[in-house]
Amino acid sequence: MIQTRELTKQYGRFTAVDGVNLNIAAGEIYGFLGPNGAGKTSTIMMLLGVVKPTRGEISLFGERYSPGRLDLRRRIGVVPEKHPLGMWTWMTAAEYLQTFADLFGLKNAGPRIDHLLERVGLAEVRNKRFSEFSRGMLQKLSIVRALLHDPDILFLDEPISGLDPFGVKQIRDLILEENRDGRTIFISSHILSEMEKICHRVAIIFGGRLMAEDAMKSLLSTLAKDREIHVDLESIPEGLTERIKGLPFVLEATQTENKLLVKVPKSGDYRKELSKHLIDQNLVPLSIQEKSLSLEEAFVTITQENIDLFARIGGKA
């Protein structure tokens, strides 16, 4: 669906994006992560055709994409991080949406507008000036605007920032629903826990360079150095932790209250062996769970490694 090849953006001597190669497949939810100043925004702006790349190519729907390709933008829906306040303050929500419907050349867009407003719970405020909307309402309106023309790809920049938990759930459900209907979703967000829940694939950018791009599970699995098994016991007898440490497959063991945290090598599943050892000790585990690396941990890992790398070579972190 979207491919970039050696995508680069330079502002004077400063290289904001350096040879980024992305590959976003149709129908997936693609997460785009990076700390502030990593080149995320510049990359997104180039993908949206707002900023012209210094070098490199963007391919959209199999066609070469550039800022002049206004026709291809019909197939993209964008929900920016912040809605421009002060824009068209006289318009009602319905009028605002009708404007964008007209921009996209949609005929008889009224029923679709009503349907989408209903879907996000804004039907009752359709004749209210959207400049009076709350942050959450504006975000929902922005999503409706982005969906009006039934785009193939939906770009979302921080779609849930500033929302309450209920709003977060609403947006999450909406995104998943849209994806189930076949829409490709591109999300950029700092809220990694949410990204972990919904993204099929993620890319991590740091210092203008693409650090990682993979399916979520593969990425987490690849980045995890080891596995951690959590064992819940009724009580932990004296010396148990030491004895566990002595097991040949155990790398590290610690305890917190009634929970044992045992690190084992990434390859292999050692829950059975561990369970057998505990039973031999006349201990019955209440639960044995394997905790995988979270996206947040993976993100920090990648970026910290690069910070260290930069520091060693004298670059800017």
| Residues engaged in binding another protein (CB under 8 A) | 45, 48-51, 67, 70-71, 73-74, 76, 78, 80, 82-88, 90, 92, 99-100, 102-105, 127-129, 155
Q: How far is the CB of 174 from another protein (least distance, A)?
A: 19
Which lies closer to another protein via its Cβ, residue 49 or residue 136?
Answer: 49
Instruction: CB nearer to another protein: give 45 or 288.
Output: 45
User: Shortest approach of another protein to residue 148 CB, angstroms?
Assistant: 10
Neighbouring residues of 68: CB distance < 8 A, sequence distance ≥ 6: none
> Which neighbouring-strand residues pair with 14?
11
- CB under 8 Å to 220, separation ≥6 — which residues? 292, 293, 294, 295, 298
40: exposed, middle or buried (C-beta count within 10 Å: 0-12, 13-18, 19+)?
buried
Nearer to another protein among residue 78 and residue 122 (C-beta): 78
User: Taking Cα atoms as reference points, which of 28, 78, 25 lies closest to residue 199?
Assistant: 28
Min dist CB 84 to another protein, Å, is: 4
* Residue whose CB is less far from another protein, 85 or 313: 85
DSSP 3-state of 305: helix
Sign of the Cα pseudo-torsion (152, 174, 142, 199, in order):
negative
Closest CB to another protein among 150 and 290? 150
Q: Is 31:201 a contact under the CB 8 Å cutoff?
A: yes
Write down the least CB distance from residue 179 to another protein, Å.
Answer: 20
**Calpha distance 248→235 (Å, rounded):** 23
- Residue in 118, 110, 111 with CA at minimum distance from that of residue 140: 118
Number of residues written out for the chain: 317
Residue 95, classed as helix, strand or coil, is helix
Percentages of the chain per state (helix, strand, coil), in multiples of 5: 40, 25, 35
Cα(70)–Cα(73) distance, integer angstroms: 5
| Shortest reach from residue 51's CB to another protein, in Å | 6
- C-alpha–C-alpha distance, residues 186 and 195, integer Å: 11
103 or 309, CB closer to another protein? 103
Residue 27 or residue 80: which is nearer to another protein going by CB?
80
Q: Which is nearer to another protein, 45 or 168 (CB)?
A: 45
CB of 11 to another protein, least distance (A): 11
CB of 136 to another protein, least distance (A): 18
Q: How far is the CB of 50 from another protein (least distance, A)?
A: 5
